[in-house]
Structure 1
C-alpha cells in the first residue's frame, strides 16, 4: 500500500522565533484562543485574537457548525453529502447554493488554466486508486487504454449547472472538489469572523488565510514545505490579509515506489512531475487553492502568462530538480 499523509496539501506554520511552532507561541497570550479540528478530512486550525474569551469560544462554536454544514455539501467521504449524491445519481435538483457558487468559480479557473484545473478528474483518480490497491498491481501504472477510457469521462465543459440543477452529461462522470473546497471553506470562515468584528486571526481549514496581522502588529509567518511532516520550512512568508495554498505531489502517492502522485493532469492522465512544491499567495483562499493545483501541471511560461492577467498573485515554486522560482504581479 502507498505511503499516505494526513493532508493532500503540504504546508507548515512557523513563528518568528527560529522554527518554533506558531501555536506554541500563540498559547502564551491570554487574548489568544486556538481551536484544532478537521475540515474535509484535513487537520484544521484557527488562531483567534479576541479580548473576550467567552465571545471567542462562541465564535468557534459557530465556525464548527459552519464547517459541518459545508462538509455535507462538499465531502467525497460522506455518503449523505450533496457532492456524493451528484456523483451517485449524475444530477441534483435544487442544489445547495454553495455548490453552485463553487462550480462557478471552478469554471473560471478551468478557463484560466486552459483545462489544467478540472474538478471532473475524479474518474481518473479512482482509476489510479483502484489499480494500485490490487495485490499484483502493475508497478508501471494503469494501461494506456484504461487511462483513455477514464479521460472520456473527464471534462468540465460536460457539467451543466445553474441555481436550479446540476447535471453530469457524460456516463461515469464524477466530481471532486478536493483541489478547491478547503479554500472555499476557509473563505467562508473568514467571512464569518469578519462579520463578527474580528480583525486578527489566522484561519487554516486545509488552506491558510490571514485576517489582519498578529496581535503584536507583526505579520503572520507561514512556512512552506513539501510535506506536512517536514521539520523545517524551505521558505517562510510574512502575510497580512492574504491567503496561502500549497500543492505538492509528495503529499500522497498511489504506489509504494512513489512514482504516481495524487496530482493528475486532466488533459493527459499523467501524474504531475514538474515541481516539488507550488505555492500561491492570493487575496482569497479559493483562488490560492485552485491555482496551486492548476500550476502544478503548467510550465513556468504558462504560469507567468496566467498571473499576468490577475493582479495580487504571487507564486513560489520548487522545480523537480530543486531550483527555486518566484513570480509576482
Structure 2
C-alpha cells in the first residue's frame, strides 16, 4: 500500500505552455501556442511536472534518465534500489554518492530538530500501512515495538558503507528525496545554461522568473493563496491530509502541530526537509529551526 506524504503543488505557467509526454510518463494537458512546454509524468511515485523553454526539448531524454537513475537510489517502490537493499540487509557497501549525500543532509536536520525529523521512521510507516490495508488500528505494544526501531543516531553513514544499528531498522526518504531529485534535475537544466524554468517533482524549484519577467505562480493548496516564486524552491507539508501522512517519531502517531506548512528556501532539498520538520517541532522553536535550517520564508497554518 502506498502512503503519500504530501499533495502535489500545482503550478501555473500562464499562457503558452504546450504539453509534452515522454517515455510512457502518462497523459498531459496542452495549451496552444507560446514558447514554453509543459511535461507531466511521475517521479518518486508522485505526479511530476516541468515547464521548460522550447530550447530545452533536446534535454528531455537526459532529464528523464536522471530521474530514473535517482529512483534507483531512493525509491522504496523499487525492490532493487539502493535504499531498499539497505533496509532489507541492514547495511550497504559502496553506497551511491547521492545516498550518502542525502543521508548526511538528513542527519543535519535531525540534529537541528532533536530528532523530530528522522528518516528511520520507516518501521512506523510499515506498521501503519499493514493496519490500513487490514482496516485495523495498531495496538500500543505494536507501536512501542516499532518506535524502538526509530533512532536517527543508529544510522551510520560512511562513503564506503551505510549501516543500520539494529535489525528491523529501516529508512524512508519521503521527507527529503523528492526535493533532492528536483534539485538534481534543476542542476542539469542550469548546467545547460537555461533560465526561465520551473521544475516540480514533488517539490517546486524555479530557475529565474517566467520568461516574460513575472514570477511563477505556485498554489500550495486548494484553499491557499498562490505564492510568487522567482528563484529558489517551495515545499509544502499538510500533516492531516490523507488521514495523516506525517508520523511523529516521539509518539508514533500520525499528525503534526500544523494544518499546513509551506517553506521557501534556496534549494528544494532544504525546503522539503524543513517543511516536514516544522510540522513536528514545538511552536516556540519553529522560527529558530527555520532560520538555522536555511529557510527564507515560512507560511504556517495552525490546526
Q: TM-score, normalised by structure 2?
A: 0.90
CA distance in 2: counterparts of 1:312 and 1:245, whole angstroms:
11
Q: How far 1:155 sits from its partner (Å)? A: 0.7
Are residues 1:279 and 2:262 paired?
yes
Q: How far 1:9 sits from its partner (Å)? A: 3.1
For 1:178, what is the secondary structure of its paired residue?
coil
Tell me which residue corresponds to 1:217: 213
CA distance in 2: counterparts of 1:45 and 1:59, whole angstroms:
15
Match of 1:49 among 53, 61, 67: 53
Tell me which residue corresponds to 1:37: 41
- Deviations 1:115-141 (Å, cap 9, x if unpaired)? 111110000111111123225x2xxx3
Residues 262, 298 of structure 2: 8 Å contact kept: yes
Tell me which residue corresponds to 1:326: none
Q: Do the aligned partners of residues 249 and 213 (structure 1) sit closer, same or farther apart at CA in structure 2, a change above 3 Å counting?
A: same
Q: Any gaps of 5 or more consecutive residues in structure 2?
A: 20-27
Tell me which residue corresponds to 1:155: 151
Q: Any gaps of 5 or more consecutive residues in structure 1?
A: 254-260, 321-329
- Deviations 1:60-112 (Å, cap 9, x if unpaired)? 11100000000000000011111111111111111111000100000111111
Q: Do the aligned partners of residues 15 and 307 (structure 1) sit closer, same or farther apart at CA in structure 2, a change above 3 Å counting?
A: same
Tell me which residue corresponds to 1:245: 235
Q: Do the aligned partners of residues 250 and 237 (structure 1) sit closer, same or farther apart at CA in structure 2, a change above 3 Å counting?
A: same
Q: How far 1:15 sits from its partner (Å)? A: 5.7
Aligned pairs for 1:272-311 within 5 A: 272-311=255-294
CA distance in 1: counterparts of 2:219 and 2:117, whole angstroms:
25
Residues 213, 241 of structure 1: 8 Å contact kept: yes
* RMSD (Å), alpha carbons: 2.4
Q: How far 1:25 sits from its partner (Å)? A: 11
Q: How far 1:166 sits from its partner (Å)? A: 0.5
Number of residue equivalences: 295
Match of 2:299 among 302, 305, 316: 316
Q: Do the aligned partners of residues 25 and 92 (structure 1) sit closer, same or farther apart at CA in structure 2, a change above 3 Å counting?
A: closer
Tell me which residue corresponds to 1:197: 193
Residues 10, 247 of structure 1: 8 Å contact kept: no
CA distance in 2: counterparts of 1:296 and 1:26, whole angstroms:
35
Tell me which residue corresponds to 1:173: 169
Q: Do the aligned partners of residues 222 and 81 (structure 1) sit closer, same or farther apart at CA in structure 2, a change above 3 Å counting?
A: same
Residues 13, 22 of structure 1: 8 Å contact kept: no
CA distance in 1: counterparts of 2:227 and 2:200, whole angstroms:
15
Q: Do the aligned partners of residues 297 and 6 (structure 1) sit closer, same or farther apart at CA in structure 2, a change above 3 Å counting?
A: closer
